[in-house]
Amino acid sequence: MNKNYYAIIMAGGIGSRFWPISRTSYPKQFIDILGTGKTLIQNTYDRFLKVCPKENIYVVTNENYTGIVKEQLPDMADNQILTEPVMRNTAPCVAYGSFKIESINPDAAIVVAPSDHLILDEAAFIASIEKSLQTATKHQCLVTLGIMPSRPDTGYGYIQYTDNTIDGDFHKVKTFTEKPNLEIAKTFLQSGDFLWNAGIFVWSAKAIVKAFEQYLPEMSDIFAEARPHYNTENEKTHVNQAYLQCTNISIDYGIMEKANNVYVLPSEFGWSDLGTWASIYELAHKDYVGNAVIPAEKVIMYDSSNCMVNIPEDKLVIIQGLHDYIVVESNNTLLICPRDQEQNVKKVVADVKQQFGTKYI
């Protein structure tokens, strides 16, 4: 196993679209949302154990989740859990992890990935990551993994690529487009040169540090100044001060959309970002009338079809006459809504917060 290979797992999100199961205090990356026996972050960590040594895997998360990370990933040392004092989107998260790794090993090659995605074909995923690590090191470029689109999905970002390639499979990126409307998504699919943006990045430590210097110079200065303090008892103090100075910006917008050395690897490994209950429903086992029930032991359904049901194991639930609904109960909260209106969950969360405070959020 290559000792220069590192992984940064981003685990700071609050997963509000999966409320009420996903709460601010215990978000979806720490939940076994698919009923597999492992949480999403545990599955992500296990995948990267096949790419790099376990001491080279880092998790960046909100400091409030430190205890949960330690509980779910007991093999991780304290210095591998990088805590953020506030949410500042993905650019500061990537900067912290990359500058820290670069200070340890300037020859490092790094894969950055969210903690809450599903990968069905693990062997294909690992092959794509290893190929990307090699290319990123060889060419000192920034690599992103693009997923071959199967439908005109409006919930994903898209990457347009050119015929200009390196190492045969890595295409020069032409444009990034955030979540388009349906008509634009359809034209993307018809054109044949667009991929879904999986939010998985690969680069050498030197290349990403250089990119921060060029495209986000203020943020670069902030994390470069902390170099003497990484891996010391002063690290947390200096990083906390650094975050308070950082702008709220994504790595996509801050660097990937601006850099001229970005390449995409078209990939197929059974990927889903598990962003909505609809994505869980698509992946879950369903009965003969289309009901997906997790767990199924104490749920009885009459004259009901195409429902997504997620209920605690100790609750007995009887559902009659519901079709195409989401039924979710967790943390003393019950949510029942039509499947085609689940995009309103964020508004529901905001309304609950306004009426009842943060107790149920």
**Confidence tier at 295 by pLDDT (50, 70, 90):** confident
> What distance in Å separates the CA atoms of residue 13 and residue 26, rounded to the nearest whole number?
10
Please report where in the chains the tokens 């002063």 appear, as a residue: 234
> What distance in Å separates the CA atoms of residue 84 and residue 92, rounded to the nearest whole number?
9
* pTM (2 d.p.): 0.93
- Mean pLDDT over 37-58 rounds to 97
Q: What are phi and psi of 86, to 5 degrees?
A: -145, 160
**Confidence tier at 275 by pLDDT (50, 70, 90):** confident
**Confidence tier at 345 by pLDDT (50, 70, 90):** confident
Q: List, in order of start, the domains of the chain with CATH numbers.
A: 5-272 (3.90.550.10), 281-356 (no CATH)
**Confidence tier at 1 by pLDDT (50, 70, 90):** confident
SS3 state at 227: helix
**40 closest CA partner among 69, 5, 20:** 69
**DSSP letters spanning 113-154:** EESS-EES-HHHHHHHHHHHHHHHHHHT-EEEEEEPPSS--S
Q: What are phi and psi of 100, to 5 degrees?
A: -65, -45
Predicted pLDDT at 101? 97
**171 closest CA partner among 180, 179, 159:** 159
**264 closest CA partner among 153, 151, 137, 164:** 164
pLDDT beyond 80 at 296: no
pLDDT beyond 80 at 139: yes
Q: What is the pLDDT of residues 55-65, one digit of tens each?
A: 999 999 999 99
- Mean pLDDT over 167-195 rounds to 92
Predicted pLDDT at 253? 94
Residue type at 126 in one-letter notation: I
Predicted pLDDT at 283? 86
**DSSP letters spanning 58-110:** EEEEEGGGHHHHHHH-TT--GGGEEEESS---HHHHHHHHHHHHHHH-TT-EE
Predicted pLDDT at 14? 83
**Contact, 111 vs 202, CB < 8 A?**
yes
CA distances from 155 to 22, 72, 131, 144, 152 (A): 19, 29, 28, 18, 9
